[in-house]
Amino acid sequence: MRPILSVKQNPEVDEVLEKIKGGQLLIVNPRRRNGIVIYRKFHAVFAGPGSAVGGDFDRLCTNILPLGKLSLLEPSSHEDQQKALRIRLQWVRLTQNFTDRPIPVDRAQMILEQFQMYFDQKIVNKIPDDAFAQMVGVFPETIRLARQSM
């Protein structure tokens, strides 16, 4: 895999969004602590390191939120694509484990704890309540309450 786009502190969100919505299949660099929140009409998903983004999965996304120093790679083989798709599915399943909890504040606390284990606190603090809320199906106020209790 070769780097095709590295996004530093002020990411060119429009450029990345255009590539993703255009159907280009990219891979979140698996060697960095980075990721991307992909907003859809009624929910959001997180694609962490090693995940495929774009392709047919994300054509209908409405916006994105890069996390960390986002670096996207172009797959160099069919095997790279397949591996990235499996990793994306793992991230989806991880988030689904949180959304299966019946109590909203539990879902909110679990997603926050997961991100705190993975990203440093500065990055977690910059993620809007709305992004977390859309990932686990709660109101932004529930995320705010969970942040305050931690």
pTM: 0.88
Q: How many domains does the chain have?
A: 2
DSSP assignment string, 64-129:
EEEESS-EEEE--SHHHHHHHHHHHHHHHHHHHHHHT-SSHHHHHHHHHHHHHHHS-HHHHHHS-H
The reported pLDDT for the residue numbered 1 is 60
CA distance 82 to 146: 36
Could you list the residue range(s) of the whole structural domain that residue 31 is in? 1-97
Q: Are residues 29 and 76 in the same domain?
A: yes
Q: For residues 88 and 98, which has the higher predicted lDDT (pLDDT)?
A: 88
Q: Are residues 16 and 90 in the same domain?
A: yes
Q: Are residues 107 and 84 in the same domain?
A: no
Q: Are residues 83 and 128 in the same domain?
A: no
User: How is residue 42 written in tokens?
Assistant: 């009624």
- pLDDT tens track for 50-60: 999 999 989 99
Q: Are residues 105 and 92 in the same domain?
A: no
Distances (CA, A) of 69 to 41, 42, 65, 113: 25, 26, 11, 20
The reported pLDDT for the residue numbered 126 is 93
Kindly indicate the confidence band of residue 81, based on its pLDDT and cuts at 50, 70 and 90.
very high
Q: Are residues 88 and 121 in the same domain?
A: no
pLDDT of 28 strictly over 90: yes
